[in-house]
Structures are given as C-alpha cells and as structure tokens.
A and B are shown apart, each in its own frame.
Chain A
Amino acid sequence: MTNPSMLPDQEGRWSFLYLAWLVALVASLSALFIGEVMGQAPCSLCWQQRAFMFPLAILLAIASFRADTTVWRYALPLAALGAAIALFHSLLYAGLIPEGIQPCSQGPSCASAEMTVLGVLPLPYLSLAAFLAIVLALLASKSKAHS
C-alpha cells in the first residue's frame, strides 16, 4: 500500500493531527453553544474567527479519519489566519489597541465585558489559545512524506 499511514513514525504524527482536530471540534461546538443555545450574539470579529475555525473542524476530521498528515498544508494557513484575528481581538479586548466607535445597530461590541463565558473567561483569549494550539499541533503533525 502507498498509504502514508503505514510508515513507522506515522503514529506520533497522527496523534498530533487528532489533537488538532479535537481542539477545533471543541472550539467550534463551544462557539455554537454560546451563540445558538445561550443566545450570546457573536460580534463581527467573532464571526471572522468562526469562519476560520469551523472549516478546521471539518477538514481535520476528514484528515484524521484518512490519516492524511499532509493536511497541514491546507489547515495551517487557516489556523494561522484565525490566530492572527484572535490576537487582534485579544489586544482589542485587553484595551491595548483602541476600538473605533461603532454605531449601535452593528451588533455587540468586540471589546465589551460580554465577550466572556461564565462571566469570567474572556472569549478572545480562549479563541487565541485554541488557534495557537492547532498551529502547534499541525506543525508537529507535519509529514515530510511524499506526493
């Protein structure tokens, strides 16, 4: 078989791939839970992070299933861009960069205290942590193998 999963050091790489998927899965379902079940409307930056996190949950699920450790080529750009938006959002939330005044009809503010879950955990930081964990796990899953 030419399946890369048969290579001896593939097991460790697959574990990192699986880990990356787990993080994306938990992050995606948590975002859906907070938004759809708890009814906390996502701000515009949250939407942009969702746009990068949701595809990762699907992409990495298929890659884990097929033991395709070459998926980092597709997934890493998504995770890195998501991390960049989450970093921007975190800085905004921390007050290190100012938020421009938004008209009221534009949905919740990205820097308000409502950007927390259970009243304590700030969502932008959780998002940044999730994207960074995915980036690291994907780097560890990098397969040098073959085309």
Chain B
Amino acid sequence: MNRRGLVIATGALALSFFVGGSVAYNAQQARRAREIAAARAEALVRSHSPVLGPPNAPVTIVEFFDPSCEACRAFYPPLKQIMGLFPNDVRLVMRYAAFHDGSDAAVKILEAARLQDKFVPVLEALLEFQPEWADHTGPVLEKAWARAKDAGLDIEQAKRDWTRAEIQAALDSDTRDSKSLEVTRTPTFFVNGQPLTDFGPQQLYDMVRREVQKTK
C-alpha cells in the first residue's frame, strides 16, 4: 500500500474503532443501568414522594430532579406535555437529587409548599425563574422565596415548616436512593421501573407510549 493509502486507511480505521467503541460502551452502560434498576426496584418509589397525575395510574414515571438544574427546567414543558397526552394513565413521582450547591434549600421550599398544597405552582415558579435565583456562583434564596410567595406560598408558615424533621428525612431518603440507583445526572427518568437510557423528550414519550399501550 502506498503512503497516502496507508494514511487514509489508518484514519478510517481509527474513526471506526472510536464509533464502534462508543456504541459498545453505551450499550453496556444501558444494560448495566437496567440491571441496577431491576435489582433495586424498591428504591424507585417511596411513599413520601410527591406524585403528579392520578395516584393509581398504571404507568409510573420516576424523575430524579434538581430544582436548580437547567436540564430539568428545559425538560419540564415536554414532560408536562407527555403527562397531558395520557391524562388517565400516567403519574409522575418526583424524587430529589440535589446535586447543585444549595439545591437542598430549594428542595425544602418545595416540600414546605407541598404542606400547603402548593407544590405544582411553586415548582413551576422556581423552574421558570431558575435563571434569577439559581446563579452559578451560588443560589440566591431570597429570590427563590420571593418567587414562591408570588406563586401563592404562605412564606411565614413555610419558613416555620422548613426546619421540620420529616422534610430533611425525605431529602435524605431521596439522596440515599439516588446513590443506590447510581443516579449521577439530572434529570434521570425511569418508566415503570426501567431506566430511560437514551436521553431526550422524544425518547421518554416513546417509552411512556409503549408502556401505556401494554396496559390497554
């Protein structure tokens, strides 16, 4: 083979190794994620977690999320859309994975809002105005509280509830479960116990639709 042919063949071979290696690695990671989810199924849904949608729906989406995570914010509208397409068949169990610095404080605001039955409006307010309170240099909690108040939260009451032991216990339990399920990124989704290994709104929709069809 001449030199030029050898150079081109080397480049092509290296690229195909790279692509083949990536495909094999991703497949292996997906297999591993399914095994972990199957082996620790009990860690997916806990009774203390907030549930959106009909509580006895046949299809359960579990989302490990962080109120200060941009991807969770971006994923919220399509997630709501998916829920809207299957209003009777799908419920969403929200688990906290407070990975960002100071996220645990935002999680506690959500939990306090839940005690006042204001979880969804406060969640939506925190996500919508995330850029103004979840600064990369650290969360500006006063702004988060102000937005929660605008969403209808009784701040005085919420600040008293904030220190409740069961709120911290719920957060700790979610942190333990996210560790045991090896959730390292947010949002991480599970649909009826299976991990969403190919990340994206369309992929989540496809998976949910498949599960809904199985119940029909």
**A interface with B by C-beta (< 8 Å):** 5, 14, 18, 21-22, 25-26, 29, 32-33, 37-38, 61, 64-65, 67, 104-105
In the complex, 15 of the A-B residue pairs with CB atoms within 8 angstroms, ordered by the A residue number, are: A5-B3, A18-B3, A18-B6, A18-B10, A21-B7, A25-B11, A26-B14, A29-B18, A33-B21, A37-B26, A64-B7, A65-B4, A65-B7, A67-B3, A104-B101
Among A5, A25, A37: residue with most chain B CB under 10 A: A37
Beta-carbon contact of B21 and A37 below 8 Å: yes
The residues of B with any CB-CB pair to A shorter than 8 Å are 3-4, 6-8, 10-11, 14-15, 17-18, 21-22, 25-26, 101, 136-137
Assuming the contacts A18-B6, A25-B11, A37-B25, asked whether A32 and B18 have C-beta atoms less than 8 A apart, the reply is yes
The answer to whether B18 touches A33, judged by C-beta atoms less than 8 angstroms apart, is yes
Other 5 A-B pairs with CB < 8 A, given A37-B22, A64-B7: A18-B3, A25-B10, A29-B17, A33-B18, A33-B21
Assembled-state Cα–Cα distance A65/B17 (Å): 20
Of the candidates B10, B11, B14, B136, which one forms a contact with A105 in the assembled complex, judged by CB atoms under 8 Å apart? B136
CA distance A65 to B6 in the complex (A): 9
- Decide if B18 touches A61 in the complex (CB within 8 Å): no
- Are the CB atoms of B22 and A33 closer together than 8 Å? yes
Q: In the complex the two chains form, what is the Cα distance from A61 to B15 in whole Å?
A: 13
